[in-house]
Amino acid sequence: MLGVLLKEQRLGKHMTLRQLAATLNERYGLNLSAGMLSRYENGTNVSTGNLFFIADFFEIDLTAFAKSFVENRRSEIAD
C-alpha cells in the first residue's frame, strides 16, 4: 500500500511528519502540511502531483510508486 511505503520511507530517515513537510516545502516549493502527509500515509486525499516530489525526495522508482498506488486502489474497489 502506498501509505505504508511513504511511512516506512519517512521513518527510515527518522523524520517526523512536520520535518518531512518542511523539507519538501523548502526543496520543492510546495505547501504541504503534516496533516496532509498524514492523510497520504493513511491512504486518503492523495494528490498524485505531490507524490512525484515525494518519490524524488525518497529516491523511489516511480514504477514501484505507481504499482503501489494501483494496488491500493484495487483493494479499495474490492472492499
Grid coordinates representing 52 are 512525484
Secondary structure (3-state) at 51: helix
pLDDT of residue 10: 95
Q: Domain map of the chain by residue range?
A: 1-78
Amino acid at 47: S
What pLDDT, on a 0 to 100 scale, did the predictor assign at position 35? 95
Distance CA 53, CA 31 (A): 12
CATH 1.10.10 holds for 1-78 = no
pLDDT by residue, tens only, the chain of 79 residues? 678 888 999 999 999 999 999 999 999 999 999 999 999 898 787 777 788 888 889 988 878 777 777 777 787 778 7
Q: 47 Cβ partners below 8 Å, 6+ apart? A: 40
Give the cell for residue 39: 492523510
Q: Provide CB contacts within 8 A for 64, sequence distance 6+.
A: 5
